[in-house]
Amino acid sequence: MVETRELKLDIERIGTVSALLTRPDHARACYVLAHGAGADMRHSFMEKVAEGLASRGIATLRFNFPYMETKQGRPDQPAVAHAAIRAAVQAAARLCPGVTLVAGGKSFGGRMTSQAQSKAPLSGVKGLAFLGFPLHAAKKPSTERAEHLAHVEIPMLFLQGTRDGLADLGLLKPVIAALGAKATLHEVEGGDHSFAVLKKSGRTNEDALTEVLDALTAWVDRLG
């Protein structure tokens, strides 16, 4: 049985945002799943990830960043995003005690999570998982967005499509290699920034997402 609960997170000195806890019976881990810059926690991609992980025995805590909660359009300043992530991690630890706790998320959400971890460890979090790390803006290849990763001391999983326009693998691979044994790269052949694949690949988007979720689950189990 899988239960999804609607919650409210109080972010100190900032306000309240909505959250969703999707938890299967006997969950062995919980993934604090932050959304991307352009879509909230209820986006179909986020729903599919939460449902897919629940079927694999992993709970998820999704939440809105304050700008998305208030429909302001422009993403929050990093300090605000970091505070929201810390509030979500605290809630996940309270609601899912005794399980392996991991954090990260889609694009912007994953990058804000690693930034927060690089500044001060997220309490109880054993690893960070990125569903498409946004290394750079579209058609503007660079590696500055990854510089903070050197200050992250826990394991990291990078799930990246080989057609991701926001992460040139020619740049990302050396970044990950420099991080050493704490960083793992899983390439999704033909996947874009959301792991969608071309029809001529012979695979469906569902096939690609299944690969992503299987890889994430195996990595979480190794952490546990």
The count of domains in the chain is 1
> Residue 48 maps to which CATH number?
3.40.50.1820
Average pLDDT over residues 118-136: 98
For residue 73, what pLDDT is reported? 82
pLDDT of residue 159: 98
Mean pLDDT, to the nearest integer, of 15-35? 98
Tens-digit pLDDT profile for residues 46-85:
999 999 999 999 999 999 999 999 998 899 999 999 999 9
Residue holding tokens 């806890």? Answer: 21
Radius of gyration, alpha carbons of the chain: 16
Q: Which residues contact 120 (CB under 8 A, 6 or more apart)?
A: none
> In 23-56, which positions are buried (b, 16+ CB within 10 angstroms) versus exposed (e)?
bbeebbbbbbbbbbbebbbebebbeebbebbbeb
Averaged confidence pLDDT in the chain = 97
In which band, very low, low, confident or very high, does the pLDDT at 224 lie, cut at 50, 70 and 90? confident
Query: What is the pLDDT averaged over residues 166-170?
Result: 97
Higher-confidence residue of 224 and 146: namely: 146
- Structural domain containing residue 87: 2-223
Task: Give the length of the chain.
Answer: 224
